[in-house]
Amino acid sequence: MKKVITYGTYDILHYGHIRLLKRAKSLGDYLIVGVTADDYDKTRGKINVKQSLMERIEAVRSTGLADEIIVEEYEGQKIDDIKRYGIDIFAIGSDWEGKFDYLKEYCDVIYLERTKGISSSDIRDKNRAISLGIVGNPPFLNKFISESKLVNGLKIEAICTSNIEDTLAGFTDIPIITSDYNKLLEAVDAVYIYSHPTLHYQQIKKALRANKHVLCESPITLDITECNELFELARSKELILTEAIKTAYSTAYYRLLLLAKGGKIGKIVSVDATCTSLRDIPNNTTEWSSIYSWGPTGLLPVYQLLGTDYSEKILTSHFVDKNSSYDVFTKIDFIFPNAVASVKVGKGIKSEGELIISGTKGYFYVPAPWWKTDYFEIRYENPLDNKRYFYQLDGEGIIYELVTFVQSIEQHKASIYIEKEVTEAIVEIMQDFKNRINLKTI
Ligand code: CTP
């Protein structure tokens, strides 16, 4: 029996795919189709696949052409599969001409002519792109805009900034650059807000009232009543309101959560997260202090692993001077019913930015800077049992955050990466900090 194998993403299955599968099948007696997993696709730069892995597998199955469907999850898997399944022919579209010649050592490699005039990318692009307006200033805008260009289905239409001169010079291809927030709202479907946290509440409210979806840098607000009001407004208008914490969207961080919750280190008894950086421009009045810059990121693994029902918490801050509200350093200690947590954040001090999650069987160790998670280890008493995990993180992770936002808008559902309770619990800490409740100073 002659066995043939082929691989693809098969997003929004089209006749180009079907023609390829038919021809691949006719090369032998048994066709195996490898459908690429979402994570593997991300590492190949396909970052805005519309359908989930299950939907894509179902679509391939419904063609009736595959005798067997497998999932492609890692680089180098093709060689493994060819050996394991005793493959005679590897077939792929001519857009890959030459790229898989290295497999000739293991089986025949056949490139089949690609069907002209159709591709999943074209179909994705035909659906109207979401136009996004950004509220923020350079230099942060540079990173954000360059990563956003890699997300299809999204176009940056406008920037609202207080620094018009530098923005005009830096972003000549953005149609609208203004200091008028209303003008920005008129021109877009959705907004991304990166302004000082004290401005978020008014800006989000205005955007939601104008029927715009909102992605807002965390913390969303500094007051829990305001936060609930905004979520209620978004719900009543069927709009997406979501928090931007880049770490939450990284594959490695998400996998770590699943492994930790799945019991890999037994019962979790302690979560310790540290995030620090030095000040950009000291004494800049619009600068975000430690708790605003790093608090949400540091709190994320605590709430996502231990929940938000802690019994006690205490904040300890060091301010630049007695009358200042700028904390150079804040430590937040929690007591949960069966665990403890500690978050250290600093903007103006430096420490080892690691994340350690301790359990009854072992611990997770995520080296600095843990918030740009691409690698972590699970360590046990016997070092021979230790495991290392690596997942590619492209850029700063802004791409994944934006892809998730676009998908939430298209599918009319909140993202799974940051739960509403987590957003609320983050706001509660900000509120306590602002009102100096449960707060000691050093
Ligand atoms: N294919 C083809 N003709 C097309 C499109 C795809 O023969 N018009 C083949 C590809 O060469 C590959 C398989 O179908 O062997 C799966 O391709 P995939 O990458 O999933 O589809 P594309 O439409 O090329 O997706 P994209 O636009 O995202 O690259």
Secondary structure (DSSP) of 282-322: TT-TT---HHHHHHHHHHHHHHHHH-S--SEEEEEEEESST
Cα dihedral 331, 334, 339, 345, rounded to 10, equals -20
| Residue spans of alpha helices (H) in 86-161 | 120-126, 140-148
Look at 279 and 341; give whichever has higher pLDDT: 341
Are 426 and 295 contacting, i.e. CB atoms less than 8 angstroms apart?
A: yes
pLDDT attached to residue 412? 82
16 ligand 1 Cβ < 6 A: yes
92 ligand 1 Cβ < 6 A: yes
pLDDT above 80: residue 394: no
Q: For ligand 1, atom 16, which residue shows the shortest CA distance?
A: 8
DSSP H or E stretch at residue 406:
helix 398-411
Look at 407 and 274; give whichever has higher pLDDT: 274
Q: Which residue has tokens 């950086």?
A: 277
Beta bridge partners of 377: 365, 388
Say which residues have a Cβ less than 8 Å from residue 432's Cβ, sequence separation at least 6: 313, 315, 438, 439
pLDDT above 90: residue 164: no
Give CA–CA dist 259/265, Å, rounded: 8
pLDDT attached to residue 47? 61
Domain with CATH 3.40.50.720 in the chain: 122-246
Q: How confident is the model at residue 355 (pLDDT cuts 50, 70, 90)?
A: very high
34 ligand 1 Cβ < 6 A: no
Q: What is the mean pLDDT of the chain?
A: 91
- Out of 46-50, 123-127, 211-215, 311-315, pick the least confident: 46-50
User: 3-119, superfamily in CATH?
Assistant: HUPs (3.40.50.620)
- Out of 145-159, 296-310, 372-386, pick the least confident: 145-159
Nearest residue to 253 (alpha-carbon basis) of 146, 142, 400: 400
pLDDT attached to residue 155? 87
Most confident of 130-139, 150-159, 165-174, 267-276: 267-276
Domain with CATH 3.40.50.620 in the chain: 3-119
pLDDT attached to residue 121? 81
Cα-to-centroid distance, 49 and ligand 1 (Å) = 13
pLDDT above 80: residue 139: no
pLDDT above 90: residue 233: yes
pLDDT above 90: residue 221: yes
Going through 201-267 in order, the beta strands assigned E by DSSP cover 213-217, 241-244
What is the atom index within ligand 1 of the atom nearest the CA of 119? 23
Cα-to-centroid distance, 214 and ligand 1 (Å) = 33
- Kindly state the average pLDDT of the residues 236-246: 94
Digit-coded pLDDT (tens) for 17-34:
999 999 999 999 999 999
pLDDT attached to residue 282? 62
Name the DSSP class of 107.
S
pLDDT above 90: residue 245: yes
The token pair that represents 94 in the structure block: 């001519």
Residues 15, 408, 48: CA angle, nearest 5 degrees:
40
pLDDT above 70: residue 43: no
pLDDT above 90: residue 138: no
Give CA–CA dist 203/199, Å, rounded: 6
Give the domain 248-441 fold: Dihydrodipicolinate Reductase; domain 2 (3.30.360)
What is the atom index within ligand 1 of the atom nearest the CA of 96? 11
Q: How confident is the model at residue 128 (pLDDT cuts 50, 70, 90)?
A: low
Q: How confident is the model at residue 124 (pLDDT cuts 50, 70, 90)?
A: confident
Digit-coded pLDDT (tens) for 60-77:
999 999 999 999 988 889
The token pair that represents 190 in the structure block: 């959705």
Mutate to test the pocket of ligand 1, among 120, 127, 151, 403 (most ligand atoms within 8 A of CB): 120
Cα-to-centroid distance, 172 and ligand 1 (Å) = 34
Domain with CATH 3.30.360.10 in the chain: 248-441
First to last CA, the chain: 76
Q: For ligand 1, atom 10, which residue shows the shortest CA distance?
A: 93
9 ligand 1 Cβ < 6 A: yes
What is the atom index within ligand 1 of the atom nearest the CA of 122? 27
Nearest residue to 365 (alpha-carbon basis) of 340, 350, 383: 383
Give CA–CA dist 385/391, Å, rounded: 20
- Kindly state the average pLDDT of the residues 391-401: 81
Mutate to test the pocket of ligand 1, among 7, 18, 20 (most ligand atoms within 8 A of CB): 20
152 ligand 1 Cβ < 6 A: no
- Kindly state the average pLDDT of the residues 168-176: 84
The token pair that represents 228 in the structure block: 């609930």
Give CA–CA dist 217/381, Å, rounded: 39
What is the atom index within ligand 1 of the atom nearest the CA of 114? 7
Q: How confident is the model at residue 289 (pLDDT cuts 50, 70, 90)?
A: confident
Name the DSSP class of 76.
T
Digit-coded pLDDT (tens) for 316-342:
999 988 778 889 999 999 999 999 999
Distances (CA, A) of 318 to 22, 231, 322, 326, 435: 68, 32, 9, 9, 15
- Kindly state the average pLDDT of the residues 210-236: 96
Cα-to-centroid distance, 31 and ligand 1 (Å) = 17
What is the atom index within ligand 1 of the atom nearest the CA of 123? 27
Q: How confident is the model at residue 422 (pLDDT cuts 50, 70, 90)?
A: very high
- Kindly state the average pLDDT of the residues 126-133: 82
What is the atom index within ligand 1 of the atom nearest the CA of 92? 15
Cα-to-centroid distance, 400 and ligand 1 (Å) = 23
27 ligand 1 Cβ < 6 A: no
110 ligand 1 Cβ < 6 A: no
The CATH number of 122-246, from 3.40.1410.10, 3.40.50.10490, 3.40.50.720, 3.30.460.80, is: 3.40.50.720
